[in-house]
């Protein structure tokens, strides 16, 4: 329930001001605007100042609330802080579903939907049962905050067709003359599946495509659309004189290096290293011309056995390497300055047993003393490896006790720079787990998410963890903190940055105290967030 700043301020008689900025400084919030947080696709939010290995436990951490959605959530939830929306300033989480719905939910309050778009009836594959019952929005969208735009692909029953939408993030209204129908030479909308996250780079929105269940004569594609007029500007067909070569990557988006080169991993199909680049790490420039590639020496046998290299996606690690995992459980490391073409990887080793999916990994993090690579792979437990800067130590630093099935979940990491690392895992047993990243596989906390969706990963932002499931958005956080939105300037308190408010005797209709939720108050002109610890002010 929303209340005015004046009415909320009228109840501050029960609050004690502790004006010591060392007690609790305002958290540095963070936007999550793209799949797995950054263009390197590390999967790490290193600006998380609230959640730590010390407070994520069964006493302090748990589910805060859920919001209902109309279908499965395969796309990663995305997060925008302090967005001007609905006449105020709010933190907003954006959720997309396979029914072609886009929701803009309040990120901190249950049951508040700022807008909801239904973007057309979704497609029902006639025979493929890999994604059921319908296919709509699968790839994670991408934001352009400078223009206030969300770009998203939908698959429609009519046609069938793929459409690219540019939505105003404050209203959900279509922009730039959208939507536009996606089309290119040898592109068949009925066969193509848009699984990877979208990429926005230098004014171009890139979409990658594979297929539904390897059916029909399809090709892997990357298509680039002008971000301001939605016209097709670039196209890359993985197998123009062959077939297949899907770019699906378990939902991972293309990675981008500091020079603007784009990296993808491709699936089984035709390879010749000239025109056709299946079963490869492929490096392209912004115009989608191949600059380099790396292909396993045994690509032909892998392809014939449906052991796609491109079941996972690429992750860039410093100073100049790309790493990825294939269905066969091999981890591949290549030097992006000289990728080696066929059979000349910097390193290849068996990181796990064969499995069909990779699950949004590896995840990379520079910890306090070591560089970590966390690998989640179907039919395997999650593992932590050390990356030295030139190679991967093949003996794991740690191995989790839980082993995923063949439709594994996904992983993400939160940390405050090089400290307080937490690896978050969604398991195929429908549990969310928090591991101490440095002391992996120490489990800090675990709990059910409901019915999970395969290869999905959590989003961590501003002290909360967001998980999409088959029918909900679940939100987890610290249950003994008061998350309070406050007007700025506050006409009564006008506190300085760093003030901690100790809560005592909070009453009134605008406060809630659900069994697993923090107290909350939300003045309508909210602009800043302060965390208030209930109890002794520790």
Query: Exposed (0-12), middle (13-18) or buried (19+): which is 182, by Cβ within 10 Å?
Result: buried
Closest CA to 48 of 485, 422, 431: 422
Cβ pair 459, 443 in contact under 8 A? no
Contacts of 54 (CB under 8 A, 6+ apart): none
Least confident of 103-112, 114-123, 233-242, 485-494: 485-494
Q: What is the pLDDT of residues 381-414, one digit of tens each?
A: 999 999 999 999 999 999 999 999 988 999 999 9
Question: Would the pLDDT of 499 be above 50?
Answer: no
CB of 331 closer than 8 Å to CB of 362? yes
In angstroms, the first-to-last Cα distance of the chain is 29
Query: What structural domains and CATH numbers belong to the chain?
Result: 44-483 (2.140.10.10)
- Taking Cα atoms as reference points, which of 276, 247, 274 lies closest to residue 263? 247
**Any idea which of 174-178, 201-205, 518-522 has the lowest mean pLDDT?**
518-522
Mean pLDDT score across all residues of the chain = 86
Q: Work out the pLDDT band at 483, boundaries 50, 70, 90.
A: low
The residue assigned the tokens 């190679």 is 391
pLDDT value, residue 129: 85
Q: What is the pLDDT of residue 513?
A: 33
Torsion of CA 83, 89, 94, 99, to 10 degrees: -120
Give a three-class secondary structure readout of 454-485: CCCCCEEECCEEEEECCCEEEEEEECCEEEEE
Alpha-carbon distance values, 181 to 164, 236, 350 (Å): 7, 17, 42
pTM of the model: 0.87
Contact predicate 408/24, CB 8 Å:
no
40-82 pLDDT tens trace: 999 999 999 999 999 999 999 999 999 999 999 999 999 999 9
**Whole-number Å distance between alpha carbons of 404 and 424:** 14
* Residue 296 DSSP code: -
Position 11 scores a pLDDT of 29
What is the rounded distance in angstroms from the CA atom of residue 487 to the CA atom of residue 489?
6
Query: pLDDT value at position 536?
Result: 28
**Nearest Cα to 358, choosing from 287, 300, 298, 310?**
310
Give the residue with greater pLDDT, 12 vs 152: 152
Give a three-class secondary structure readout of 324-376. Answer: EECCCCEEEEEECCCCCEECCCCEEEECCCCCCCCCCCCEEEECCCCEEEEEC
Question: Is the Cβ–Cβ distance between 453 and 42 less than 8 Å?
Answer: no
């Amino acid at each position: 329930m929303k209340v005015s700043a004046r009415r909320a301020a009228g109840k501050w008689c029960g609050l004690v001001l502790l004006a010591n900025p060392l007690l609790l400084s305002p958290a540095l919030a963070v936007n999550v605007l793209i799949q797995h947080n950054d263009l390197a696709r590390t999967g790490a939010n290193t600006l998380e100042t609230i959640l730590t290995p010390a407070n994520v436990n069964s006493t302090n951490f748990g589910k805060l609330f859920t919001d209902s959605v109309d279908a499965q959530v395969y796309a990663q939830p995305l997060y925008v802080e302090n967005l001007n929306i609905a006449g105020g300033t709010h933190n907003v989480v954006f959720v997309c579903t396979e029914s072609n719905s886009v929701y803009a939910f309040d990120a901190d309050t249950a049951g508040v939907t700022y807008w909801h778009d239904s973007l057309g009836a979704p497609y029902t594959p006639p025979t493929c049962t890999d994604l059921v019952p319908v296919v709509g929005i699968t790839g994670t969208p991408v934001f352009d905050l400078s223009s206030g735009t969300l770009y998203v692909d939908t698959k429609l029953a009519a046609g069938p067709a793929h459409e690219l939408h540019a939505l105003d993030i404050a209203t959900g209204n279509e922009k730039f003359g959208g939507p536009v129908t996606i089309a290119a030479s040898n592109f068949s909308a009925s066969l193509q599946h848009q699984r990877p996250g979208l990429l926005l780079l230098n004014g171009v929105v890139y979409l990658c495509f594979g297929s539904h269940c390897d059916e029909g004569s399809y090709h892997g594609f990357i298509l680039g659309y002008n971000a301001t007029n939605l016209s097709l500007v670039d196209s890359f067909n993985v197998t123009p004189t062959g077939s297949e070569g899907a770019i699906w990557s378990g939902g991972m988006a293309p990675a981008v290096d500091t020079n603007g080169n784009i990296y993808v991993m491709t699936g089984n199909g035709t390879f010749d290293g000239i025109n056709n680049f299946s079963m490869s790490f492929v490096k392209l420039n912004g115009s989608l011309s191949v600059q380099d590639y790396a292909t396993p020496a045994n690509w032909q046998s892998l392809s014939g056995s449906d052991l796609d290299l491109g079941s996972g996606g690429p992750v860039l690690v410093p100073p100049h390497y790309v790493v990825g995992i294939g269905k066969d459980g091999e981890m591949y490391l290549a030097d992006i300055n000289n990728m080696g073409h066929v059979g000349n990887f910097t390193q290849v080793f068996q990181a796990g047993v064969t499995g069909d999916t990779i699950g949004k990994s590896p995840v990379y993090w520079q910890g306090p003393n070591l560089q970590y690579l966390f690998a989640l792979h179907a039919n395997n437990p999650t593992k932590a490896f050390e990356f030295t800067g030139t190679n991967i130590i093949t003996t794991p630093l740690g191995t989790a006790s839980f082993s995923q099935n063949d439709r594994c979940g996904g992983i993400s990491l939160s940390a405050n720079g090089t400290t307080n690392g937490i690896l978050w895992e969604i398991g195929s047993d429908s549990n969310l787990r928090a591991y101490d990243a440095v002391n992996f596989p120490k489990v800090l906390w675990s709990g059910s998410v409901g019915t999970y969706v395969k290869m999905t990963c959590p989003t961590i932002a501003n002290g909360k963890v967001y998980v999409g499931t088959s029918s909900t958005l679940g939100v987890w956080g610290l249950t003994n903190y008061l998350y309070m939105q406050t007007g700025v300037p506050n006409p009564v308190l006008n506190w300085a940055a760093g003030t901690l408010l100790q809560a005592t005797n909070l009453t009134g209709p605008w406060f809630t105290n659900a069994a697993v939720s923090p107290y909350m108050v939300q003045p309508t002109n909210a602009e800043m967030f302060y965390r208030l610890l209930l109890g002794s002010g520790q």
